[in-house]
Structure 1
Amino acid sequence: MAHRCWNESYAGGELPWDTGEPEPLLVEFVTSGRVAPTRTLEIGAGTGTNAIWLAERGFEVLGIDVAPLAVERATAKLDGRDLGCRFQSLDFLAVSAPEGPFQFVFDRGCFHVFEEPEERARFAARVATALAPGGLWLSLIGSTEGPPREVGPPRRSAREVALAIEPALEIVDLHAAEFRAHDVKAWFCLSRRRLEGSGE
């Protein structure tokens, strides 16, 4: 796959995904109590909005992004505050995330950028490796639902999502949602690393 140069997007200011506000679907998930503050990895953390929001609520967060400029901006947002949050430039498909295992992994629109099924499956397998047994991964994914559109997040079907994730993890919640900032359909996909030796 010819990887998009994400650093160039940050340099040029082409950041439609960077709303400057924490993702509403993540906010609802956390405030509903479905995950308690814990060791967390955010993949594709961008300029750090979601990671910092989590850290402000007691999560210990490592935010990773392939774009060094994004990591610089995210670190600057911390502004010297004593939060359990730090950022690192890292290509998740090429290098294992340090400091694992994590009890919670979050990505907003990172899994779906990979065009090849094999890459999406590798992404899911790497998440499984990063998670502690029983740990949760929340992925927000562009959906094939809704009317045709020329712009916005990549579109993945529920079948494509399941084929990539289920060999590595157990999908516990997959339902239709929306990237509200962009008014486009999404999948809310919550997966869990199976408990060791349980087959469950």
Structure 2
Amino acid sequence: MIVKSEHDLMQLLDSLLREPKEFWDSFYKEKSNDIPFFCDTPDEHLVKYVERENIRPCHVLELGCGNGRNAIYLAKQGFSVTAVDLSKEAIAWATDQAANDNVQIHFVCENIFDLDLPCQKFNFIYDSGCFHHLAPHRRISYIQLIQKHLANKGQFSISAFKENGKYGGSSLSDQQYYIDRSLHGGLGYNKEKLQAIFHEFMEIEIRDMQYEHLHENEFGLEDFIVGLFKKA
């Protein structure tokens, strides 16, 4: 490859670090595996945002929807949802789940950085576990994606591995991932890192995900960090 543009550079770096699409298809194909989020319960902070009216029914873009549990919850609450995932197996699972729950969701099987949503703006963008699987160079693309598709005064939320947590969360330097040619299962974040990365946005909250004393309609895991931000 001859690098002639930013796109070429991103593709080159992706080739060093990105998990291939086939990995995620295999991951989501085995639905019986003991994966905590292979469930039908929405994230606890998402439920709280809706119940406390931090967000109200609007147009939503979900990045990395997996089996659709959060997209389905939002659709049931009256949101208009576009949900994206790289894995065709994840999208098939999510589509079946949505049909069973009789909700309408626009599912898209695509890499989030190859989305073709021309001029489309969303009032809320949600990411449950996609961000920590992105290589450092893709943070730039991620922020560009948020800026492009989030409406003015819109909000976005992420949940990600905490550093050195139970489920992952590598705390290596950004440089080391490229030396090792591995993301070591996913990058870990703390409050200060998220504040630095998303400094262009207004911070509404950054906190640990709750995992104890949850209601039966809430999902939570220890050693995850969640954040809610607003576009000025």
Answer whether TM exceeds 0.5 for this pair. Answer: yes
SS at match of 1:103: strand
CA 1:193–1:107 in structure 2 vs 1: closer, same or farther (change >3 Å)? Answer: same
Indicate if the aligned counterparts of 1:58 and 1:84 stay in contact, CA closer than 8 A: no
SS at match of 1:93: helix
Query: Who is 1:174 aligned against?
Result: 206
- How far the C-alpha of 1:80 sits from its partner, in A, is 7.0
The 10-residue stretch of structure 1 (151-160 or 44-53) with the greater mean CA deviation from structure 2: 151-160
Matches within 5 A, 1:39-78: 39-78=59-98
Indicate yes or no: 2:6 matched with 1:6: no
Q: 141, 157, 162: which is aligned to 1:122? A: 141
Query: Who is 1:192 aligned against?
Result: 230
Indicate if the aligned counterparts of 1:75 and 1:86 stay in contact, CA closer than 8 A: no
Query: Who is 1:141 aligned against?
Result: 160
CA 1:9–1:179 in structure 2 vs 1: closer, same or farther (change >3 Å)? Answer: farther
SS at match of 1:70: helix
Indicate if the aligned counterparts of 1:42 and 1:63 stay in contact, CA closer than 8 A: yes
Task: Answer 1 or 2: higher relative contact order, Cα 8 Å, separation at least 6.
Answer: 2
Separation in structure 2 between the aligned mates of residue 113 and residue 80 of structure 1, nearest angstrom: 29
Note the alpha carbon deviations across 1:124-163, whole angstroms, 9 max, x for none. 221121101110001112222xxx5563464212232223
Separation in structure 1 between the aligned mates of residue 135 and residue 199 of structure 2, nearest angstrom: 18
Q: How high is the sequence identity, in percent, across the aligned residues?
A: 21
- With normalisation by structure 2, the TM-score equals 0.72
**Structure with more helix by fraction:** 2
SS at match of 1:17: coil
**Structure with more strand by fraction:** 1
- With normalisation by structure 1, the TM-score equals 0.82
Query: Who is 1:198 aligned against?
Result: none
Note the alpha carbon deviations across 1:17-43, whole angstroms, 9 max, x for none. 323211122111111111110000111
**Which structure has the larger Rg over C-alpha atoms?**
2
Indicate yes or no: 2:174 matched with 1:159: no
Query: Who is 2:125 aligned against?
Result: 105
Q: CA RMSD in A?
A: 2.4
CA 1:175–1:70 in structure 2 vs 1: closer, same or farther (change >3 Å)? Answer: same
